[in-house]
Structure 1
Amino acid sequence: MNIDRAKANRDLLAFYSEAGVDIALRDEPNDWLSAEEPAPAAAPEPAPAQRSPAPRSPAPVRAVSASILPSAPVPPPPDAAVMTAREAARSAASLDELRTILDGFDGCALKNGASRLVFADGTPGSRLMLVGEAPGAEEDRQGLPFVGKSGQLLDRMLAAIGLDRSKVYIANIVPWRPPGNRTPTPVETQICLPFVQRQIELCDPDVLVTIGQPSTGALLNVQGIMKNRGRWFSYQTGTREIRAMPMLHPAYLLRSPIGKRLAWRDLLAIKKALG
């Protein structure tokens, strides 16, 4: 039997190639796992280091006095801020004096992030006073309450019963805009509450309307704007009793127009109370 060794070798190499063999070994087996690793080449000796000059010490930094750095006033603890607010509010003999006192009051941290004080709008001494929650972005820019989209709707609501801003007085529980138009915290509300209470006393309206739950809860101490809106409450100033009614906030009415029918009922009740 003749064997074509050349062809057999080619076939064997083809088999090895298909099997993944890519290196030719010797005839004797070689245990690559037990082979000693070659010793690493000796690292060349470093050249003698040149003497470098001593590092220069940095120039002394001049201390900056903290008195020339701009910083916001640190508000006092909440309890102390409330007591200070009560004393400051009681000392105001007029709305103009109250505004000046409030503008210099540093007990509420909201003042540090607001552009300006939003005190009031309308005519002091009006028979109808409305108290909302807190200024928004547009109110913060103009320094007047209810001048954004909610305020525009409020103007139309007042016009529906024959009123405008010259015949009412408008304020907020909190006179500074909270960051991001968020709801004022209970602490922030309690700190600012003495000022709006004094504002109501000095304005002395015949009818007080609390707009939205925050002002309703703070001034009338009732929770649940939907179940309490349209109801008459008694607000005591210390010298007289004022009729008070909670009403849905215009911002809520913009989101839920179906609530406008309830607001219309409340407006008619307010018109009737004003005679």
Structure 2
Amino acid sequence: MGAEPIQDWQKTLASTLEWWRDAGVDMLVEDDPHDWLIRAAPPVEPATNPVAVAAPVAEVLPDTLDAFVEWRLSDSAPEAGWHAPRFAPTGPKEAEWVLLTDMPEAEDDARLMEGPAGQLLDRMLAAIGLSRESVHLASLVVARPMTGRIPPEQEPRLIELARHHLSLLRPKKLLLLGQAASRVLAETNGTGGPDSIHAVNHFGAKTLLVATFHPRFLLERPVAKSEAWKHLLLLSRGPSE
């Protein structure tokens, strides 16, 4: 191989300058030298005044029982999209006893718990000197889900609404029917037991609270009826001193 040709750098530089002159560049754009091999940093967006974003406004629920029940049965309620009949609570507004079930029964037509589970509930109440007409019966959800199970993703909101309902009732005695209803309050877990009575002050008044088995469960497991009877007596008589 022969020697590489020696480039005439002066001619090359003169040719480059001549090209720039013909292109219209006849002056330096900066007074100080610049290393054009350094990668330029990305442009920085000019600072702007941040726009204040309003905090989400907490929903204000109706503060009277009649208005709240009307709202729960309206198309604004979480169950409106379930395409199932919605059932209002029953019984006196100022009842000493409040019963909370999980959902309407499949047999319900005109009111909550009309079928076999409701008939058993009537017998349970009669055994302690009460009747359906003397207690306030409400449900955690006002419509029965197609699957017969409360959607887990909606349960926290439904529990919040049930607590608000109870705060409007201010019950003296609260009986939670079944595991789903028992999750409304932290003090109960739905498993029951002979000493499962709690005194709470969540609703603007002292409330004695017991969680027991749902009548629906008792129809399937009659052996649990004796335990449910203990729960009823416990709430009826109050804790022993």
Report the TM-score, using the length of structure 2 for normalisation: 0.68
Moved over 4 A (4+): 227-230
Distance 1:167 1:111, change over 3 A: same
1:236 aligns with 2:229: no
Structure-to-structure mapping, 1:57-206, within 5 angstroms = 87-89=59-61, 92-106=62-76, 108=78, 110-139=79-108, 141-142=109-110, 144-180=111-147, 182-206=148-172
Aligned-residue CA RMSD (Å): 2.4
1:234 CA displacement:
3.4
In 2: Cα distance, 1:213 partner to 1:163 partner = 23
Of stretches 197-206 and 120-129 in structure 1, the one that deviates more from structure 2 is: 197-206
Distance 1:162 1:133, change over 3 A: same
Structure 1 gap segments, 5+ residues each: 1-82
2:220 corresponds to which residue? 255
Structure 1 distance, partners of 2:202, 2:192, is 24
TM-score in terms of structure 1 length: 0.61
The one-letter code matched in structure 1 to 2:200 is Y
**Does the aligned pair in 2 maintain the 1:134–1:177 contact within 8 Å?**
yes
Q: Which residue of structure 2 lines up, in the alignment, with residue 214 of structure 1?
A: 180
User: Is this contact kept in 1: 2:73–2:142, CA < 8 A?
Assistant: no
Output the amino acid matched with 1:96: D
What CA deviation, in whole Å up to 9, does each residue of 1:229-253 have, x standing for no partner? 7511233325233111101110111
Gaps of 5+ in 2: 1-55
The superposition leaves residues 123-155 of structure 1 with CA deviations (integer Å, 9 ceiling, x where unpaired) of: 11100101011112222x32x222221111000
Shift of 1:167: 1.1
Paired AA for residue 191 in structure 1: R
- 1:227 & 1:269 partners in 2: Cα distance? 11
Contact in 1 for aligned 2:104/2:113 (Cα 8 Å): yes
Q: How big is each residue's C-alpha offset from its partner over 1:51-97, in whole Å with a ceiling of 9 and x where there is no partner?
A: xxxxxxxxxxxxxxxxxxxxxxxxxxxxxxxx98x7242xx232111
- The one-letter code of the counterpart of 2:150 is P
CA contact (8 A) 1:230 1:246 kept: no
Which of the two has higher C-alpha Rg? Answer: 1
Distance 1:114 1:145, change over 3 A: farther
Contact 2:197 2:235 in 1 (8 A): no
Number of matched pairs: 184
CA distance in 2, matches of 1:88, 1:195: 11
* Cα distance, 1:202 vs structure 2: 1.5
| CA distance in structure 1 between the partners assigned to 2:197 and 2:180 by the alignment | 17
Q: Quote how far apart the aligned CAs of 1:198 are.
A: 1.8
- Is the Cα contact below 8 Å between 2:187 and 2:198 reproduced in 1? no
SS in 1 for 2:199: strand
In the alignment, is the contact (CA less than 8 A) between 2:199 and 2:209 conserved in 1?
yes
